Amino acid sequence: MEDESHNNTLPNGFNTGSPESPFLKTSTTTTQHNKEQDRFLPIANVGRIMKKVIPPNGKISKDAKETVQECVSEFISFVTGEASDKCQREKRKTINGDDVIWAITTLGFEDYVEPLKTYLQKYKEIEGEKLSIPKQMRSEQRLQQHHNNYHDQNNQPFNGAYASSNLISQPPYVPTDQKFSLTFSPNSIQSQLRQQDQIDSVGHWYE
């Protein structure tokens, strides 16, 4: 399927709409945008972590970052599936932290267990000291579960959070553009894709 081809992937990981269906471009792009957002972790975060472990003079190609994005999602699904099976065997409905650590051990990633436990312990300490951070995170998660990204947000802090989100995955845009994208969903998406097209210097829209 052409839409799934890496050749049609813009720098930030979004797929372009199909050239064969120009009249459905907006809705197709919106759907793909949402699906792409949901399937992978942000490429900027992934790239930053990758850079930590290679020498300063090393470089990372875009296709390597995209491949790692896919591998990480597969890792999450792989471990979650194992943890979920364990919960079902034990007649429990909630996957908790211990289930994840058990699954990670079972699947051969024993070396991760000690760092994970240390991390969780430190997180709990931070949580005790700074109540605002977990509260903000919980609010963000709750909001994302109940609202489409492109609905108007009356609460300003959440707009800020979404703008930050867009900034991470779309570095070329300035903050004001992101605010507009929250309000004028169809046009701004097309506008963003066109800008990406120009920056990319490859005529994706005209393939």
Among positions 131-190, residues that touch other proteins (CB under 8 A) are 132-138, 140-141, 144, 156-161, 163-165, 167-168, 175
- Closest to other proteins by CB, 125 or 207: 125
Other beta carbons less than 10 A from residue 64's beta carbon: 13
Q: Which stretch binds other proteins (CB under 8 A): 23-31, 44-52, 187-195, 197-205?
A: 44-52
User: Which residue, 206, 202, 158, is CA-closest to 179?
Assistant: 158
* Of 1, 7, 23, 61, the one binding other proteins by CB under 8 A: 61
- Tell me if 42 contacts other proteins by CB under 8 A: yes
Minimum distance from residue 191 beta carbon to other proteins (Å): 20
* Of 24, 71, 199, 202, the one binding other proteins by CB under 8 A: 71
Burial class (CB in 10 A: 0-12, 13-18, 19+), 58: exposed
* Of 12, 16, 43, 46, the one binding other proteins by CB under 8 A: 46
- Tell me if 31 contacts other proteins by CB under 8 A: no
**In sequence order, what are the residues at sequence separation of 6 or more whose Cβ sits closer than 8 angstroms to the Cβ of residue 72?**
40, 41, 46
- Tell me if 97 contacts other proteins by CB under 8 A: yes
How does DSSP assign 119-157, residue by residue?
A: HHHHHHHHHHH-SHHHHHHHHHHHHHHHS-TTS---SHH
Minimum distance from residue 46 beta carbon to other proteins (Å): 6
